[in-house]
Amino acid sequence: MNLAYYTCFYGDENNIAFNIPDTPSLKYKCYYFTNNQTILGYLENTNWVGIYDNKPVSSDLIVSAMASKHIKAMPEGYLVLKEYDYLCYLDSKLPKVNERFVEKQIKDYFIQENFALVLRKHWFINDNVWNEFNESMNHCRYRKEDEKYINYIVGQVRAGLSEKSDEHCMTGYLLRNMKHPKIMQINETWFNHIQDCGIECQISFFFIKQMFFEYIKSFSENPFDTIL
């Protein structure tokens, strides 16, 4: 399979996300994008391929989180990833993904079927985007943008989208079919919504999934080697 994994970190050494997880694969290339030279140095002793993204390093958690959203949402904008048919984004704070699970999803949903994007249903938040909003308020970095989220949600509902869904998803695991004719439109639309919504990108994806529902597959199984 022409598959690559990637993750990222943007920010300084005091950022709560400052972390290098185990590489998800020895079979496929694994890329780690960062603007932090310290992380880049640490990556030299791992199986990750470190990619330096020359963006300013900030101690502000919101600024740093927003800096990471471009590679997360629009991997087609990075030369090293352009050659791959399938891309698996993993949040750097998550445990190791099960590679056989990833390969099976590619076969089942991209080769046998024709989905553009596969991701996991949220295991404890469902039914309503306001449940995601309320949960996010338990985190300081999200509380700082609470009015921005509220205005964004209200605006999407007024535009005709629903605040309810049976399949609310998590965005820490994103398996993309880069050959699909709709994937770049999905990616770009999501990135633009992130700019309007804020760094809590599961809120914006709640509405993106409604806009592109026929191209997005959600699943309930655990994709990681540990229970999560």
Domains of the chain (ranges plus CATH)?
1-123+167-199+211-228 (3.90.550)
Q: Determine how β-strand 117-121 pairs with β-strand 169-177.
A: antiparallel
Assign residue 53 a region (left: φ > 0; alpha: ψ between -120 and 50; beta: otherwise): beta
pLDDT at res. 166: 84
The pLDDT value given to residue 126: 84
Give the 3-state DSSP-derived string for 84-106, with helices as H, strands as E and coil as C: CCEEEEECCCCCCECHHHHHHHH
Q: Mind giving me the DSSP string for 204-219?
A: HHHHHHHHTGGGEEEE
**DSSP character string of 117-186:** EEEEEPSS--EEHHHHHHHHTTSHHHHTTHHHHHHHHHHHHHTT--SEES--EEEEEEEEETTSTTHHHH
pLDDT of residue 227: 66
User: pLDDT averaged over consecutive 10-residue blocks of the chain (228 residues)?
Assistant: 98 94 96 98 96 97 97 98 98 94 98 97 91 95 96 98 94 98 98 98 97 97 81
Tell me which amino acid residue 176 is: R
Backbone angles phi, psi at 3, to 5 degrees: -120, 145
- Please state the pTM of the whole predicted model: 0.96
